[in-house]
Amino acid sequence: ELAWCGLTETEAKNTNRKVQVAKFPWGASGRAQTLGRPDGLTKLILDPDTEEVLGMGISGVGAGELIGEGVLAIDNGLKAKDLAHSIHPHPTLSETIMETAEAFYGVATHIYKKPTTRRGG
């Protein structure tokens, strides 16, 4: 299942703004593992200067049920820190959204990414 909202990576780059992509592979999700469906991916398209969420893509089981959080984030001009700091039940697939936002800051619990100098995460 695929779900997308907001700008794609290409569309965001065509707006002549800086773009950063954060990804969280579902192989690192405890819930995806227990469902036997670790083949998904959650992706955020972000403005690295403002940290604003420009787009979100989800591939995996239940993607259509998860994308609503991305629509809410984009419609309200939310930043990656808003997604990273929101409580997400555990273990759920919705945690992949939080972990993707945390990956933007280099602090995702279940994947390693070299930390950056950002302070919002």
Q: pLDDT (tens digit, 9 = 90+) per residue, 55-90?
A: 999 999 999 999 999 999 999 999 999 999 999 999
Q: Residue type at 111?
A: I
Q: Tell the burial category of 87 from Cβ atoms under 10 Å away from its Cβ (0-12, 13-18, 19+).
A: exposed
Q: pLDDT (tens digit, 9 = 90+) per residue, 15-63?
A: 999 999 999 999 999 999 999 999 999 999 999 999 999 999 999 999 9
Q: Which domain holds residue 75?
A: 2-105
Whether residue 121 lies inside any domain: the answer is no
From the list 89, 118, 65, 36, the residue with the least C-alpha distance to 101 is: 118
Whether residue 78 lies inside any domain: the answer is yes
Distance CA 94, CA 66 (A): 6
- Which residues does residue 45 pair with via DSSP β-bridges, in sequence order? 21, 55
**Residues known to be catalytic:** 90
Q: Tell the burial category of 10 from Cβ atoms under 10 Å away from its Cβ (0-12, 13-18, 19+).
A: exposed
Distance CA 58, CA 63 (A): 6
- List CB contacts of 107: < 8 A, sequence separation 6 or more: 84, 115, 121
92 pLDDT higher than 90: yes
Instruction: Check which CATH number belongs to the domain holding 54 and give it.
Output: 3.30.390.30
Whether residue 115 lies inside any domain: the answer is no
Say whether the peptide bond before residue 115 is cis (omega within 30 degrees of 0). no
Evaluate whether 32 touches 41 at the Cβ level (below 8 Å).
Answer: no
Whether residue 81 lies inside any domain: the answer is yes
| Overall number of domains in the chain | 1
Whether residue 44 lies inside any domain: the answer is yes
Whether residue 72 lies inside any domain: the answer is yes
Q: pTM for the whole thing?
A: 0.90
